[in-house]
């Protein structure tokens, strides 16, 4: 677009992008490769991307593993619900955090930082007791609330950053029209925040989808297990890892995330912005 003047820039950009993609994507490629190799081949010294013999049995082994599908469904419910909750309650609060200065802001920001630094292992016991009094241990509702709570600081922190990036003149223009604050928020601020909201939503989905420690400690019944918990059942004692089935299961588990990303990334574009400013 604006780089027409320099003919070499485009190819250089493509090369750079390709390097990034190789770096970021190669482990997945290797995972897929491992998922179609037999354990004999995985334990050999030959390095090859393609298997000498396609070993699809890893996939049937992975799917035969108790509850892989059910735990994927559990993960999806928990991740989607907590993402929706996070966005819903974080947006207004982030706005306040960004726009109102002073002691409250300092306290809010300070809290966010402290809550992220303090080791989770020291929080887990009190948290477990609190959830137990509310009868929310071994429950997906409890896990959803925990995931929501522990993603909130990040969501608030990021969203307030994006709010701070929105020129206040836009809002003021809205208020001059005599619109109420809430309607200014709804009509002007939130649409402008769209890319930030999408980024935050993706983060909160992923962190819930991949979250291991809270799920491990809080869930007890196998029918409540989430995906990461079920996947670790391929890792046995004494370092025995059923590598092939684990790779197959992980690849299957990665597909929903990738689909989710493909849908969400479309919303990460400037198109929304333009519309919002006009509206």
Q: Are 223 and 152 in contact (CB under 8 A)?
A: no
Out of 74, 83, 137, 208, which residue is the one contacting other proteins (CB under 8 A)? 137
Out of 77, 80, 87, 254, which residue is the one contacting other proteins (CB under 8 A)? 254
Nearest to other proteins of 69, 266 (CB atom): 266
DSSP H helix total and E strand total for the chain: 15, 0
- Least gap, CB of 240 to other proteins (angstroms): 7
Query: With binding defined as CB under 8 A, does residue 66 bind other proteins?
Result: yes
Query: With binding defined as CB under 8 A, does residue 233 bind other proteins?
Result: yes
- Least gap, CB of 70 to other proteins (angstroms): 13
- Least gap, CB of 133 to other proteins (angstroms): 4
Beta strands in the chain (DSSP E): none
Query: With binding defined as CB under 8 A, does residue 60 bind other proteins?
Result: no
| Residues touching other proteins, count (CB under 8 A) | 147
Query: With binding defined as CB under 8 A, does residue 71 bind other proteins?
Result: no
* The two three-digit tokens of residue 79, written as one number: 């991740």
* The two three-digit tokens of residue 268, written as one number: 């990460």
Query: With binding defined as CB under 8 A, does residue 58 bind other proteins?
Result: no
* The two three-digit tokens of residue 112, written as one number: 């966010």
Query: With binding defined as CB under 8 A, does residue 244 bind other proteins?
Result: no
Q: Are 143 and 161 in contact (CB under 8 A)?
A: no
For other proteins, the binding residues in 104-123 under the rule CB under 8 A are: 104-105, 107, 109-111, 113-119, 121-123
Query: With binding defined as CB under 8 A, does residue 89 bind other proteins?
Result: yes
Helices (H), the chain: 9-35, 39-42, 57-64, 68-99, 103-117, 120-133, 140-164, 168-176, 181-184, 190-192, 194-210, 213-218, 227-232, 243-265, 271-278
Query: With binding defined as CB under 8 A, does residue 69 bind other proteins?
Result: no
Query: With binding defined as CB under 8 A, does residue 202 bind other proteins?
Result: yes
For other proteins, the binding residues in 146-185 under the rule CB under 8 A are: 146, 148-150, 152-154, 156-158, 160-162, 164-169, 171-172, 175, 181-182
Query: With binding defined as CB under 8 A, does residue 52 bind other proteins?
Result: no
Separation in Å, CA 206 to CA 3, 75, 188, 210, 259: 35, 10, 28, 6, 12
- Least gap, CB of 75 to other proteins (angstroms): 10
- Buried (b) or exposed (e) across 103-128, using 16+ Cβ within 10 A? eeeeebeeebeeeeeeeeeeeeeebe
Query: With binding defined as CB under 8 A, does residue 56 bind other proteins?
Result: no
Query: With binding defined as CB under 8 A, does residue 141 bind other proteins?
Result: no
- Burial class of residue 78 in the structure, from the number of CB atoms within 10 Å of its CB (0-12 exposed, 13-18 middle, 19+ buried): buried
């Amino acid at each position: 677009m604006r780089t027409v003047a320099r003919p070499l820039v485009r190819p250089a950009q493509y090369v750079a992008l390709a390097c990034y993609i190789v770096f970021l994507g190669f482990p997945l490629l290797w995972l897929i490769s491992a998922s179609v190799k037999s354990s004999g081949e995985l334990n050999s010294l030959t390095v090859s991307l393609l298997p000498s013999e396609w070993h699809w049995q890893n996939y049937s082994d992975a799917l035969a593993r108790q509850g892989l599908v059910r735990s994927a469904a559990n993960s999806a419910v928990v991740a989607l619900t907590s993402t929706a909750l996070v966005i819903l309650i974080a947006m207004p609060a982030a706005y306040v955090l960004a726009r109102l200065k002073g002691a409250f802001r300092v306290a809010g920001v300070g809290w966010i930082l402290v809550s992220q630094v303090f080791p989770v292992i020291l929080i887990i016991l009190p948290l477990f007791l609190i959830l137990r009094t509310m009868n929310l241990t071994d429950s997906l509702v409890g896990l959803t609330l925990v995931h929501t709570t522990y993603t909130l600081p990040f969501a608030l922190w990021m969203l307030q950053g994006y709010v701070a990036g929105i020129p206040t003149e836009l809002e003021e223009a809205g208020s001059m029209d005599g619109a109420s604050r809430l309607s200014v928020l709804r009509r002007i601020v939130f649409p402008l925040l769209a890319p930030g909201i999408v980024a935050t939503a993706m983060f909160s989905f992923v962190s819930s989808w991949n979250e291991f420690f809270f799920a491990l400690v809080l869930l007890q019944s196998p029918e409540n297990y989430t995906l990461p918990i079920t996947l670790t059942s391929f890792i046995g004692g004494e370092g025995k890892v059923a590598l092939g089935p684990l790779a197959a299961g992980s690849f299957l588990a990665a597909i929903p995330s990738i689909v989710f990303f493909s849908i969400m990334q479309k919303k990460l574009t400037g198109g929304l912005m333009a519309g919002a400013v006009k509206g």
